[in-house]
Amino acid sequence: MFSSELLPCLMVALPLVGAGLVLLSPPKSPDQARWTALTNVLLTFVLALLLVARYQVPELLPPNADEVDRRELVKQTLQMGRSFPWLSPRAASEPVAGAQRQVDTPVQLAFAVDGISLWLIVLAALLMIPAVLVSWNAIDERPGRFYALMLLLEAGMIGVFAAQDIILFYIFFEFTLIPLFFMIGIWGGSDRRWAARKFFIYTLAGSVLTFLGLLFIVLSEQWMSNSPALTFSIPELTASIQQQIAASPQNAAYWGRVSPWIFAALFAGFAIKVPLFPFHTWLPLAHVEAPTAGSVLLAGVLLKIGSYGFLRFALPLVPGASVAHFHLVAILAVIGIIYGALLALAQEDIKKLVAYSSVSHMGFCVLGLFAFNTVGLTGGLLQMINHGLSTGALFALVGMLYERYHTRDIASYGGLARKYPRMAFCLLVVAFSSIGLPGLNGFTGEVTSLMGMFATNRLYGTLSLAGIILGAWYTLSLVRRTFFGRLREPVQSHQHSPVVSHHQAHGQPAETPLTDLNLREMCALGVLIVPIFWIGLYPKFFTRRMQPSLQPIVAVLQEQGAVMLSQKNALPVERPVQASQPAPSPANSTISR
Amino acid sequence: MSETFSILLPHVVLALAGALFLLAGTFAIPRRWFGPAALAVLALTAVMLRLSVSHTLAAGIDSGFSVRSSALAVGFQYCCLAVGALFVLQSISQQSREEGPTGEFYGLLLLMIDGLLLVGVANDLITLFLSLELISIPTYVLLYLGRRDPKSQEAAVKYFLLSIFSAAMLLYGMAFVFGLTGSTQFDSIRRVLIETYAPINPEAVVPAPSALGLVAIAFLLAGLSFKLAAVPFHFYAPDVYEGTSAFNAGLLAVIPKAAGLFALVRLIGQVTVGFEATGQQLALILAAVTMTGGNCLALLQTNVRRMLAYSSVAHAGYMLVGIAVGFWEQSHPSQGLTAHGGLGLPGGLQSSLLYLLTYSIASVGLFACLVHLGRPGRQVEHLEDLTGLAKTNPILGTVMALFLFSMAGIPPLPGFWGKFSVFAGALSVRQLTLDGGFQLHPAFAILAVVGVLNAAIGGVYYLRLIALMFLHEPLGAPRPTGGRSAYYAALVSAAAVVLMGIFPGALFHFLQNSPRENLGLRPATAQMTPAAVDSAAVNPVAVNPVEQPAN
């Protein structure tokens, strides 16, 4: 066996190799491309399982832990790390002015996992399986290229979560745009070109500002620590900045001054990616026009990059500004939850309905993260995984239905449960998971993030409950209207379908027999339904691995967020001695506002 | 063999070869021989350069010459030779088929490349001016050669007149520098300026910058801005690019820009000591206006070459960001990315050179694709001509998309690394606050934000072209009629783009370790303002005490 240190690097490299292999496979035999892609995806998923198996869960902090303990914990949670020099061909260090220092630029190919990225990596690897399976027959035009792009996307997604270098993170963050642009633009629905471009430009416009924010974090760290070289390593930056703020009041004042700007820059990119309320307009278009696999991955994994960004950068690096912008973000999230749900309720197009429900559900993630306590953060992170599973499965189901009838119009369906009992079962499970039925994953995620939010601010918690009720409404009415009642099937002639199929546009009608789910489709849904039950019945398996990584972030938020806020309000710069106080117990620690 | 001669040897070879080509054009020599011969000459020059480097850099050239080599200059020259070879390569097919003076064409091309190499080593205002003219004059002729239609005539005349005008401005600025310092030789100018404006002795009285110098800086910047095609000196670019052939447009997009930028980098190190504040302000404004103007106007274009002309204007803006940072690093030798021997990223001037390189490779490749896709008289004109290119010609489409993504700055392509280092430079500029702390320089912060937003605007029109090529069905398939050699040139550039994107380490390493003296940066004598002294006492971050008088 190989050393587990290489696991995250391998997980990024394997899909890249796979993409190359798929491209090399002869264009005449699409099946070869399909099987190569599937093998590659399964292998990557096996590696992801190995990652979970080899991840050692560190002990949680005792209640009276101090900063040193916290740093130790962070070090313990970060596992299987490996870095290679990138911008420095010769990592030489030479003694200058008596001090040993690195002369070369330290941007590195650094990969590792911690409790936050572990499950997101597994999610990305898992969702690739249904993504490959649902495209099996749906993509009949140049499938080799489609699968190559999809594998490139997988490398990008895993890379984003595994990257431990701030520039590397950004590179993967942007890189995911390219394959998805082509996937939407070439294989998407009727309005695919505009959807692809809007998606790309919208995300790019936000992320370039994020790029400035990330760069500025690196440069500011050097200014504060006066170290002889810049560091781009995310854990090093996080530790060093927290140390510098605690070390000198001047640094704390400086960081307090620049934090809002950094937060704004990070917010620009991540809020668009999540998406939060006013920035969500790219999402329905991209989701609806994307091919099924694209929608599954976009909703399942790529939206999480936004909330992951908040969790990885905004909360630990600019805790003061995050706390200060609590109301802004929470209000946007609550508006997103309710507005998204209302829009979903009004949709007649199944895919649009699911797309708007994503806006609503992602609001819960953000709400959980911005509760600033362990419960909320755990809930937010868990909700990311849950949303990935349930929305991924929903999009896959919509895709299967679409493959059979070539319409997404809700009104043209009815009573399908009689004809498709297996599909009805899967849809029910997924729908219940999505609306948070106890025993399924959605419940654990939503309840924990709302519990966290209730501890911080009751009003927002209560308001977002409306989203749950509306969610149950639109999801169940979707299920009722399509799968129950009198059997009604869309007319098969394509001219009558309100949504023009892209097969028609390409002049290649692909006929799928009107039978219940076949083995391939059941496998695609099965791999999603198993974790839906698992998280719902035994969430501790998952949260136990998350919490050690979330705890230090919460501690920083509680301490330094409060420190910097108090500094902002009271001008004579005097750092309150808080580090020695016992950290407040997570659940009932509220932010006094 | 004297050092000067040894530095000049490759240039002499190239110039003689150019003259020989001009002469050979009058004899009945088969047309297809000229292109490979020109490639051979460039290879020979590279060998000579290698030989002369081992001779000169080992000997350790002292000041006092009108040419001076350095590691950075040699690196620049190698890159120029490579880019020049790509230009020669892409022209071979067309030149061996077309009617027209081939010998003259390659002769002039070699002379241009020679001028570009000479910019790298020029150590004297006169040499610098002559080397810039050695680029301009062959360009005028190349724009005229073999083109009889009114549009290209207009383009040539326009370029000729505006170029002469800019040369006059440059010369005028140089005259002011001479009037101020009494010398045209860089080292003497620098010595005089440092004695006056940045004395080693901290007690010496520093006079206010002379008005002569301010005028000089303004004129030098204006003259070189024409070469860079920076707003408001860009007016020739769209018309000339549109009017001339794809090959000539590519030449104009790369060679004058490289010459102008390297000359600017050299001048900043040598003749601007004491006037950095003015230069910084001018460069800041130029950069912001150029980026925004170029990108916004590129959005409106329907002609490929016109769009690329405006995009090349916009890229000049990003390079000027690095120049502005370079001015600041000049006046603050103990701060910023170049302080203390470097923090791990190239400084402002080096980052603008890095940007230039990434831009040049992508441009050469992109124009080579256009050369391959058309021939004189039937060129790719409208953006719509490229519709569906990825279907009819997948490899060419992919390669073009690669260049366009690189220009848009999408990682991990080289354009991203260029933007990365340029904006890291802009964000490294800091200033002292009243309470003794420090903060990001607000002007540079705004510049950085304007810059990245421009990158997003740039994304719009690059992506529009990519969308046309990939997402649309071909209308009338663009038939590649420009010959194979341009195709090979595009492939070579694409390989270079991919390699530079995935392995940028060597470049960063080279630029960041090229010592300050290569750029003629002001020595890191702490020329501290009282505020800086105060803050050094309070906060050791502002000025590193180890960095006191180095020389």
Lowest mean pLDDT among A59-63, A266-270, B412-416, B506-510: A59-63
The one-letter amino acid at A339: Y
CB B318 within 8 A of CB B357: no
Whether residues A105 and B464 touch (CB distance < 8 A) is answered with: no
Minimal Cα–Cα distance from B344 to chain A, Å?
4
Sequence-separated contacts (24+) of A542-546 with Cβ below 8 Å: A542/A119, A542/A382, A542/A385, A543/A378, A543/A382, A543/A448, A544/A57, A545/A52, A545/A55, A545/A57, A545/A115, A545/A118, A545/A119, A546/A115, A546/A116, A546/A118, A546/A119, A546/A378, A546/A381, A546/A382
Which of the pair, B496 or B102, is modelled with greater confidence?
Answer: B496
> Which of B439, B509, B541 is closest, CB to CB, to A226?
B541
Token readout for A265 is 């820059």
pLDDT value at residue A497: 42
Residue of B nearest to A87 (CA): B505
pLDDT value at residue B522: 55
Lookup result for tokens 């002011």: B176
Whether residues B343 and A230 touch (CB distance < 8 A) is answered with: yes
d(CA A147, CA A186): 13
Q: Does B548 touch chain A (CB under 8 A)?
A: no
Whether residues A88 and B424 touch (CB distance < 8 A) is answered with: no
> Which of A87, A192, A205 is closest, CB to CB, to B504?
A87
Residue B478: pLDDT band by 50, 70, 90 thresholds?
low
Enter the DSSP assignment of A423.
Answer: H
Whether residues B452 and A211 touch (CB distance < 8 A) is answered with: yes
Whether residues B513 and A103 touch (CB distance < 8 A) is answered with: yes
Lookup result for tokens 């969610």: A471
Whether residues B456 and A216 touch (CB distance < 8 A) is answered with: no
Whether residues A230 and B345 touch (CB distance < 8 A) is answered with: yes
Minimal Cα–Cα distance from B403 to chain A, Å?
13
Q: What percent of chain B has pLDDT above 70?
A: 89
| Residue A2 pLDDT greater than 80, yes or no | no
d(CA B542, CA A93): 24
| Residue A224 pLDDT greater than 90, yes or no | no
> Cβ contacts (< 8 Å) between B412 and chain A: which residues?
171, 175
Minimal Cα–Cα distance from A106 to chain B, Å?
7
Give exposure, B444-463, as e/b (b: 16+ Cβ within 10 Å): bbebbbbbbbbbbbbbbbbb
| Residue A236 pLDDT greater than 60, yes or no | yes
Q: Does B504 touch chain A (CB under 8 A)?
A: yes
> Cβ contacts (< 8 Å) between B539 and chain A: which residues?
250
β-sheet bridge partners, residue A83: A110
Q: Does A212 touch chain B (CB under 8 A)?
A: yes
Mean pLDDT, chain A, whole residue set: 84
Enter the DSSP assignment of B65.
Answer: S
Residue A507: pLDDT band by 50, 70, 90 thresholds?
very low
Q: Does A201 touch chain B (CB under 8 A)?
A: yes
Interface of A with B in 507-526 (CB under 8 A): none
User: Taking the CA atoms of chain A, what radius of gyration do you get in angstroms?
Assistant: 24
> Cβ contacts (< 8 Å) between A218 and chain B: which residues?
424
Whether residues B455 and A208 touch (CB distance < 8 A) is answered with: yes
> Which of B343, B344, B412 is closest, CB to CB, to A175?
B412
pLDDT 10s digits, B31-43: 888 888 888 888 8
d(CA A392, CA A478): 16
pLDDT value at residue B376: 67
Whether residues A104 and B344 touch (CB distance < 8 A) is answered with: yes
Residue of B nearest to A251 (CA): B437
Lookup result for tokens 């206010």: B208
pLDDT 10s digits, B291-303: 999 999 999 999 9
Token readout for B383 is 């953006």
Residue of B nearest to A209 (CA): B452
Give the mean pLDDT of B259-284.
90
> Cβ contacts (< 8 Å) between A219 and chain B: which residues?
424, 427-428
Sequence-separated contacts (24+) of A493-498 with Cβ below 8 Å: A494/A406, A497/A405, A497/A406, A497/A407, A497/A409, A497/A412, A498/A407, A498/A409
Most confident of A502-506, A573-577, B416-420: B416-420
Q: Does B295 touch chain A (CB under 8 A)?
A: no
pLDDT value at residue A92: 42
Q: How many residues does chain B have?
A: 551
Closest CA to B84 of B52, B50, B128, B118: B118
Residue B194 sits at the vertex; the CA angle it makes with B188 and B197, to the nearest 5 degrees, is 135
Interface of A with B in 159-198 (CB under 8 A): 167, 170-171, 174-175, 177-178, 181-182, 185-186, 192-193, 196-197
> Which of A89, A177, A258 is closest, CB to CB, to B505?
A89
pLDDT value at residue A107: 81
Minimal Cα–Cα distance from A534 to chain B, Å?
38
> Which of A230, A250, A253 is closest, CB to CB, to B344?
A230
Whether residues A201 and B463 touch (CB distance < 8 A) is answered with: yes
pLDDT value at residue B355: 95
Minimal Cα–Cα distance from B412 to chain A, Å?
6
> Cβ contacts (< 8 Å) between A89 and chain B: which residues?
505-506, 509
pLDDT 10s digits, B430-473: 888 777 778 888 899 999 999 999 999 999 999 999 999 998 88
pLDDT value at residue A386: 93
Enter the DSSP assignment of A233.
Answer: B
Minimal Cα–Cα distance from B342 to chain A, Å?
7
Q: Does A216 touch chain B (CB under 8 A)?
A: yes
Q: Does B464 touch chain A (CB under 8 A)?
A: yes
> DSSP string spanning A492-517?
S-GGG-SSPPHHHHHT-PPP--S-S-
Whether residues B344 and A102 touch (CB distance < 8 A) is answered with: yes
Q: Does B448 touch chain A (CB under 8 A)?
A: yes
Q: Does A86 touch chain B (CB under 8 A)?
A: yes
Lowest mean pLDDT among A44-48, A181-185, B211-215, B222-226: B211-215
Beta-carbon count within 10 A of A499 CB: 18
SS3 (DSSP) at B438? strand
> A261: exposed, middle or buried (C-beta count within 10 Å: 0-12, 13-18, 19+)?
middle
pLDDT value at residue A571: 36
CB A409 within 8 A of CB A490: yes
CA A439 to chain centre: 23
Whole-model pTM: value is 0.90
Residues in contact with A190: Cβ distance below 8 Å, sequence separation at least 6, in sequence order: A289, A499, A500, A501, A502, A505
Residue B159: pLDDT band by 50, 70, 90 thresholds?
very high
Minimal Cα–Cα distance from B136 to chain A, Å?
36
Residue B18: pLDDT band by 50, 70, 90 thresholds?
very high
> Cβ contacts (< 8 Å) between A216 and chain B: which residues?
427, 440
Q: What percent of chain A has pLDDT above 90?
A: 45
Q: Does A264 touch chain B (CB under 8 A)?
A: no
Query: CB-side exposure of B127: number of CA atoms within 13 Å?
Result: 23
Residue B521: pLDDT band by 50, 70, 90 thresholds?
low
Q: Does B103 touch chain A (CB under 8 A)?
A: no
CB B275 within 8 A of CB B246: no
